[in-house]
Structure 1
Amino acid sequence: MREILVKTSNEAVREHAKNMNIETVENDEPKVIIECREDEEKAVRMAEKSNHIFIQSPNWKIISLENLVAKVKGKTKLIAEVKNSEEAKLALEVLELGVDGILLETNDLGELEKTVRMLQERSMGILKLEEAVVTEIKLLGLGARACIDTCSLMKNGEGMLVGNFSQGMLVVESEVEATPLTNPRPFRVNAGAISLYTLTPNGKTKYLSEIKAGDQILIIDREGSTKPAFVVRSKIEIRPLVLIKAEAENREAAVTLQMAETVKLMTSKGSKPVTDLKPGDKVIAHFEQGGRHFGTLVPEEFVLEK
């Protein structure tokens, strides 16, 4: 999670920040207030002399931070002063790289909690992935499947975790590669049957049928690194489906996907179309213990999924 500091005159906010191991500050120096181009240049010069700079942008909240991230990222720690979680989110996303940290100036306990939740949802970090062996492939009939279109450009080796069961999921790769009959659609994951689970950035699961424009999904690569992506649309259509099961150390994962050459499951070194899969092939999977209650993981709960 990116660094968060708090500046407040409210003792309750100060105490709550302390309980969450968040540092409170009284002195936000060295500091540059960005109101014109000369102020930007002052911040650039200061970056050569200080290991951190506090930046306050009263009016130009995005462009000024974009310019500074481009000029001083890596030279010093850039900390943006913000008033709420919305400003914090913008600062952390400028130029995709974002600032190094935020200083939240608030006397509102709810705003502190909202900002911390936002940071936690952005930072699922790395999920454990492991190889699972395909044990069964069964052609089903027609069924409703969902294509999830995002506003992200995914790369080779990136996709979504989906599963018939919440305890075991496989990774479906985005449509990043062209074929003789189709153009690449790197914004899309043909994610599977509408009743499949997928993980979201807050650690909860959602059914694919529930995903809609404006929601966030979790993108994962084959190393387990994750990042959020916004959904532009979910396209549900009737297509032929295939059931694929895989096992690792007596744990099972299963997915129900569209039977098509463009739908690929991720492997440790590449990906393989579901049309080419056969028992004995290895794919990558994510397993967890426990059950889910309205999407929230309950590790201690016993749930049998089959």
Structure 2
Amino acid sequence: MRRRNLTLAALAAGGSLALLPGGAAWSAETYPDKPLRLIVGFAPGGGADALTRIIAEGLSKQLGQQVIVENRPGADGVLAAQATSSAKPDGYTLLMGTNTAMVAAPTLRPTAPYDPFKAFTPISSAGQFSMFLVVPSSLPAKSVNELLALVAAKPGAYNSASSNSASELAMLQLLGERKVVNARYKGDMQAMTDLLGGQIHMMFTTGTLAPGFVKEGRIRALVTLLPQRSALLPDVPTGSELGLGKLTITPWAGFFGPPGLPQAITAKLSQELQNTLKRPDVHAQLVQQGFEGYGMSPAKFTEFFRAQYDAFGATVRQHNVKFE
């Protein structure tokens, strides 16, 4: 009882202690005082894993504590998300979440695995994956308008490729009522191989794959989904430049904590993540991965998250997309 009274007295006096759910105390001056766990829903060695490790190393330097990356692949990132959601909200378990687990899974599945706005605390954006619409050089389309004209002239004669729901829905937004046959691949590299061979006519792919082939003249990049031109392919216009306001799907990643994460912890983590993403060493490594890193305040990130979720859901309903 005496310890409890002292804690309450400190709070009443305007001290820096706060009570976590369950009654544990947290101090702004001492947090973090042990390593953090950053969960990612993809296997080691992949693009999302590489990005997570780059940011984790920078965050470790910012916080003065080790940030340990934990891979929990499977179920489209849902396993990693659920592990985070059920963790203690003390600031020591974070999620590197992407469109797949935070938007696609709860939107497309007949039974949503969780409500992403109740099961997590948004902390900060991590940034956006560079995504480009590409076509083989053999296809007689040098612009988005020329591509759309080809598709409209021969409904069903052309095909597209995808390896994730974000690229599929972006293609649906681009094409509107124009018909193509979509082929689903397990990864972009397999799809790119077929596009280079002429079996595939168009696809949205990442900044990791596209630039090299564009510079070799083997494919053309017609538009980027980024809100600004990418340094990887600065000659490729954005959707807004082309008047394609309907392209609202953005392949992004962000940081989340368990529900009930105290505001003070959320704010500190958000600021340190934003500082991490501004570090020259982190920025340079992310650019090499085709990733545009930037942070947001919790409020801004929540607003962005909601807008992306709503746009995704609207496209799913408009085109009657079903989970398979």
What's the TM-score once normalised by structure 2's chain length?
0.23
User: Of Structure 1 and Structure 2, which has the larger fraction of its residues in strand?
Assistant: 1
Q: Which has the higher contact order (CA 8 A, sep 6+)?
A: 2
